[in-house]
Amino acid sequence: MTVRRMGSRLKATPIRAGLTQLAILGICFMVGGLVGFLFSGWGGDNPELLDYLRHYFKTVSQGSWAGPSLWLSIWELTRWPLAAFLLGSTAFGVLGLPILLGTRGFLLTFSTATFARLLGLPGIMVSLAVFGITVFVTVPVLFAVSFDAFGQSLGRLAGERPPAWSQRTQTLSLCVGLLALAVALQQTLMPVLFTAVCTRLFII
């Protein structure tokens, strides 16, 4: 019985450690999102920004917007997971990865909350059109890469040898495939959806 209990503890320990690491990253992301939400309300009304957004969305509704370029889409969608991957190659990732997740949560929530505060329901719909499709893909990818990188950084901090690439290939390969899907969606579906939302809500 004692041997079995010890074996169970040894098997459970990595799971608990992994859940703890994932919880740390998730909390940092949510705290960043909460700060972004609160910070968006401190700016008050901004007539210049409101006029600019309305004019921009009306321009989109008139078909004058061609969507982001391919290289811009690749950069926008891969920079966060790439930063997480690079941070995992050093012990600094123990501090840098929680900051990265918090920053990502802040920016997403700040942008969405600002649109909603200035434009109401149309602002929420625009946010979903602009961020929704890619966020549903890229945020899980960011968490997967950050989780893997966080474990690597903790191991480096403890002086452990990094695991073989074969142990990480499956997860990272799936993330690359999902990022390629996100780029394809941003190039094809997002411009159509964004234009349709702007045409419905902002054209006079």
User: How far is CA 92 from each of CA 71, 87, 88, 154, 193, rounded to the nearest angstrom?
Assistant: 29, 7, 8, 9, 40
What is the structure's pLDDT at 179? 95
What is the structure's pLDDT at 108? 93
170 φ/ψ sector (left φ>0, alpha ψ -120 to 50, else beta) = alpha
What is the structure's pLDDT at 86? 94
What is the structure's pLDDT at 144? 94
Which of the residues in the chain have pLDDT under 70? 1-16, 43-45, 64-66, 162-167, 202-204
What is the structure's pLDDT at 14? 57
What is the structure's pLDDT at 45? 65
Three-state secondary structure along the chain? CHHHHHHHHHHHHHHHHHHHHHHHHHHHHHHHHHHHHHHHCCCCCCHHHHHHHHHHHHHHHCCCCCCCCHHHHHHHHHHHHHHHHHHCCCCCHHHHHHHHHHHHHHHHHHHHHHHHHHHCHHHHHHHHHHHHHHHHHHHHHHHHHHHHHHHHHHHHHCCCCCCCHHHCHHHHHHHHHHHHHHHHHHHHHHHHHHHHHHHHHHCC
What is the structure's pLDDT at 104? 96
Global pTM?
A: 0.83
Domain boundaries, the chain: 2-202
- Give the model confidence (pLDDT) of 163-192 as tens digits: 666 667 777 889 999 999 999 999 998 888
> Do 174 and 37 touch, CB atoms closer than 8 A?
no
